[in-house]
Structure 1
Amino acid sequence: MKLTRTKALAAVASAAGLALALTGCAGDAAAPSESPAAGGDGAFPVTIEHAFGESVIEQAPERIATWGWGAADAVLALGEVPVAIPAEMYGGDENGVLPWIAEELDALGAETPALLTSGAEGQLPIEEMLAAAPDVVLAPYSGITEEEYTQLTDAGVDVVAYPEVAWSTPWRDVISIVGEALGQADEAEQVLADIDASIAEQAAAHPEFEGLSIAEVWNVAGTFYVYLPADPRVQFAEDLGFVSAESVTELDTGEATFYYTLSYEQLDKLEADVLLIYGDTEAEVDEFLASEQGQLLPQVPEGEVVKVIGQSAIASVAPPTALSLTWGMDDFIAAIEEGLAE
């Protein structure tokens, strides 16, 4: 089954599947990305192994396209401008451009790349992609199929797919893979080091987070989701000093590697110092917390509830990217501070 990134992660919390129609209008293609530094240091050729074999990139790509989640962000963080990127209607603007991508394009003085639309089940739009005339398609965190991969490679395009399983590549590995493909492995490591330094700075500034147990959840359309330690947003909280509550793993139903659903009758068992709840709107979250089911959560009467509200805020940590984590970090921290202060 082919899944969009939004269905796979951020929108998995919706009983309706948050089946978003990625109908953003394609923007003008950006000017070709040029990488003289990458090509001049002996980095190429580069061979990258992935689920469909291996791809050999002979020289620094001049026209870079991305598919899936996070690859476009990594390319931009490395100072390159893709010619085509996927439209993201969950968290993006009316055209499907995510706010942190828009800000980085503005900082680079670049036009918006062509925005690729996907089918109802997340199919890669082959004709749109080929119309952008890429040298390489970077899709290390995506649902690209072997058929789609073959169609692109048969057309003479180098393609870097996910290492093993669709929609499963750790976000840090996405940055590393993109850096390797562009001949900028060292620069990619510096991007990661800068992100880690920002997280460490926030953790040091908030010693009150250290050791507090946390449960991260989302209630959507009658279904209550709990995120496991394997989920990147939980890992981010742990980087800030929190620890995943024991109850989170004790109640795990084994539905998936990064989340499970919990019946309302069991909400009183979700013991944690802090409850972090996601929601598209504050009204949606407040309505649930005031409901009979919401009041069962041990943290609600005590006021130990952190609310992370809005599609962009949720998308920025589900999972993080080379640009999104630092983009949304201040607001995320402010939400935690507000929740703990009440």
Structure 2
Amino acid sequence: MPLPHRLRSTLVALIGSTLITVLAVACSSTPTAGPGAGAAEDGFPVRLSHAFGTITVEQRPQRIVTLGEDLDTLAALGITPVAYAPTAPGYSDDVPYLKDRIDLSGATVLDGAETGEFKIEQIAAAAPDLILASNFYGMPELYDELSKIAPTLAYATGWGETSWQELSATIGRAAGEEDRARAAVAETEQYLADLRADLPALEGKTVAGAYYHSSGTFAANPRSASMQKYTALGLRVNPPLLEALPEGASDNSVSRETMDVLDADLLILSYGSDALRSELEADPIFRRLKAVRSGTIYVNDPTDRLPTFAGNNPTLLNIVWLLEQQRETLAKVR
């Protein structure tokens, strides 16, 4: 049975590592070919390239719709969308790291965020002049329809592959707030640098992560951008996990029998349900994992989806929030 879009996204990108280097575009003030190239003196029009083509933002947008975690970057820039998709199931205007940044009480909450099956007519009714969906996985199915409503910014290459720095910089250019985006990115990078200095024992240690979504089966993607926050702290993805899931592999599954590829110094784990958590915690193979024995395993609560989705989709705001939740576990790694 095909999995729902939102669940499929969790299977594909929950807890991985990134080999993406912090891109110079996130800190550059001189646009090159691609996003931002050819901008006029006042910053507009702006041409932005993405996986489905090129869009032109003719003037500073006034009515922005967000379909993914681009909402976080807008909030960091002090911009309120006219309509948005909730960051995670169960959350609308109460996401803790958006508090006191923007007021979402007057914005339209889009239906269908959990499955990715948005109502096109609801988006059109918001009369957007820009749709931000650079971190929305469902673009292959929706891009054509969305682009008929307004210029629509999708991901640069593939979903979950672009660094949060590049996403933030591109959104800043699209919104006419490139300088503010650059400053916001620098602030988060400074947080990561400070945390790395505070936790020197992390340097060179290994990290693995997975989603236990059904009995006996994990999903992992060690090469997605979702774990950039951990590699930025000096950790490296567990080599056996990289070997088990080679680049380009069509299957990102880890079975109970091959669970040892998750035997890293730090393990980030999510569960599909409380029942699955109980099942795995009783498994003797799981209990022998280094992180389980040493207490360096961080478990996302199955009943609260925000940490899971924040982990999947790193942004300049949720990175800080999530790592603060995990600081106690990070400090145990030796």
Q: TM-score range by the shorter chain?
A: 0.7 to 0.9
Change in Cα spacing, 1:196 to 1:9, as seen in structure 2 (3 Å) is: farther
| Residues 119, 327 of structure 1: alpha-carbon distance in 2 compared, 3 angstrom cutoff | closer
**Mapping for residues 67-216 of structure 1, pairs under 5 Å:** 67=67, 69-90=68-89, 92-93=90-91, 96-97=92-93, 99-100=95-96, 102-103=98-99, 106-118=100-112, 122-145=116-139, 148-155=142-149, 157-216=150-209
Closer, same or farther in 2 for the Cα pair 1:270/1:317, shift >3 Å? closer
Instruction: Give 1:243's aligned residue.
Output: 236
Amino acid at match of 1:305: T
C-alpha deviation, 1:304, in angstroms: 4.5
Deviation at 1:170?
A: 3.1
**Compared CA separation, residues 5 and 228, structure 1 to 2 (3 A):** same
Q: Counterparts of 1:1-342 in structure 2 under 5 Å?
A: 6-12=6-12, 42-67=42-67, 69-90=68-89, 92-93=90-91, 96-97=92-93, 99-100=95-96, 102-103=98-99, 106-118=100-112, 122-145=116-139, 148-155=142-149, 157-225=150-218, 227-252=220-245, 256=249, 260-268=252-260, 270-279=262-271, 285=277, 287-300=279-292, 302-310=293-301, 311-337=305-331, 340=333
Shift of 1:144: 4.9
The answer as to whether partners of 1:57 and 1:181 remain within 8 angstroms in 2 is: yes
Partner amino acid for 2:76? A
**Aligned partners of 1:3 and 1:121 also within 8 Å:** no
Q: Report the CA distance shift for 1:197/1:3 in structure 2 as closer, same or farther (over 3 A).
A: farther
Name the count of aligned residue pairs. Answer: 306
TM-superposed CA distance for 1:97, in Å, is 4.5
Partner of 1:30: none
Q: Using a 3 Å threshold, how does the CA distance of structure 1 residues 326 and 272 change in structure 2: closer, same or farther?
A: closer
Paired letter, 1:131: A
Counterpart residue identity of residue 292, structure 1: P
The residue matched to 2:281 in structure 1 has which SS?
Answer: helix
CA distance in 1, matches of 2:13, 2:59: 41
Aligned 8 A contact 1:213 1:244 in 2: yes
Is the 2:238–2:261 contact (alpha carbons within 8 Å) kept by the matching residues of 1?
no
Larger relative contact order, structure 1 or 2 (CA cutoff 8 Å, min sep 6):
2
Taking a change above 3 Å as real, the CA distance of residues 299 and 160 of structure 1, as seen in their structure-2 partners, is closer
Mapped partners of 2:85, 2:249: distance in 1: 26
> 1:265 aligns to what SS in structure 2?
helix
**Once superposed, what is the RMSD of the aligned Cα atoms?**
3.3
Structure 1 CA distance for aligned equivalents of residues 266 and 97 of structure 2: 31
Supply the distance in 2 between the matched residues of 1:144 and 1:191 (Cα, whole angstroms): 27
Q: Residue 215 of structure 1 aligns to a residue in which SS? A: strand
TM-score with structure 1 length normalisation?
0.76
**Which SS does the other structure have where 1:225 is aligned?**
strand
Residues 190/5 of structure 1: CA separation in 2 closer, same or farther (3 Å cut): farther
In structure 2, distance between residues paired with 1:191 and 1:7: 30
